[in-house]
Amino acid sequence: MIDQILIQSADEMRAARLRTKVGDLERALVVVESKELLAGQKRGIAAALVKAKAELRQLEHLVHAGRIRLTALQQRVKKVLAREHVSSFVLVETGGDEASPTLQWHVDTARRKLLETTRLGRRVLCTDRHTWGLERIVHAFRGQWKVEEMFRRSKKGGVVPWGPSFQWADSSLRLHTFASVIGLMLVSLAKIALGTDASPRVMMDSLGAIQATLVRTTTGGMGRRPTILLAPELNEEQRRAVEIFELARWMPSLASCRRTRATKAAA
């Protein structure tokens, strides 16, 4: 029996669930169709096709000039077609002998259209959570993907980079990794609390821009000069962050900034 549900989110998704056996195990297979994923895959295929066409034209030139042998031609054609889904709709034929190879190719638009309508934009999820609803299963897998993506970016030097690590002892490496994971967790919790669609880097740059200016005044007398904190200019997202994280407890000038803006808005 197949259940269907329409999940409303930033992009419209459809999901269908089928309970079946995977080997000897009873599993629920969930097929998720996403317009956002389909659009991204189409862009990727279009970019891959542009590169494939350029390389195939170059191979044609080498064949006509007699500057490539059949074995090398076949190896390069195989490399060209290894790009994502390109081999599904780019048809290439090589022939001739080793010294005088031939090359013919064309893009089959019908096959490309069939690929877009039958395979692209879909993911298949496998789970043993038979009591969960479709929406919960999809959100659980998306949450897992986001965690993996955060760690992947961390290794490449993202918002909370793991490296460079100048540690040699196992205990120091464990402590360094633990601190990185805590940092990733705090960034994720801040993003959830703010409910923003911005990337973690953009969000952290916006939060880091919440700064007050410390001005030292002069009285003309002896002793330490008094200081004054000037309230910063905040945008809407920064004002929301000040309220959610109660930053005025550590920077009272932020509270006065909010009250001033509220008064102006009321006037």
pLDDT in tens, 31-90: 888 888 889 999 999 999 999 999 999 999 999 999 999 999 999 999 999 988 999 999
Across 49-58, 136-145, 168-177, least confident range:
136-145
* pLDDT at position 261 over 90: no
State the Cα–Cα distance between residues 141 and 137, nearest whole angstrom.
6
Same domain, 4 and 79: yes
Tell me if residue 155 falls in helix, strand or coil: helix
Burial (CB < 10 A; 0-12, 13-18, 19+), residue 55, is: middle
Predicted confidence (pLDDT) per residue in 235-257, tens digit: 888 888 888 888 878 777 777 66
Q: Is the dihedral of CA 176, 181, 184, 189 positive or negative?
A: negative
Beta partners for residue 229, in sequence order: 214
pLDDT at 260: 44
- Mean pLDDT over each residue of the chain, to the nearest integer: 83
Predicted confidence (pLDDT) per residue in 201-214, tens digit: 888 888 888 887 77
Same domain, 262 and 163: no
Same domain, 71 and 169: no
Same domain, 193 and 222: no
Length of the chain: 267
Same domain, 9 and 139: yes
pLDDT at 258: 54
Tell me if residue 196 falls in helix, strand or coil: coil
State the Cα–Cα distance between residues 196 and 26, nearest whole angstrom.
38
Contact status, residue 65 vs residue 59, Cβ threshold 8 Å: no
State the Cα–Cα distance between residues 238 and 209, nearest whole angstrom.
8
The DSSP symbol for 82 reads T
Which segments of the chain are extended strands (E)? 2-7, 13-22, 25-34, 90-96, 101-107, 122-127, 213-216, 227-230
Same domain, 170 and 120: no
Predicted confidence (pLDDT) per residue in 212-228, tens digit: 777 877 776 777 777 87
Same domain, 136 and 261: no
pLDDT at 262: 43
- pTM of the model as a whole: 0.56
Residue 148: inside a domain: no
Number of domains in the chain: 3
Domain span at 169: 157-205
Same domain, 107 and 15: yes
Same domain, 46 and 124: yes
Same domain, 14 and 53: yes
The residue with greater pLDDT, 112 or 227, is 112
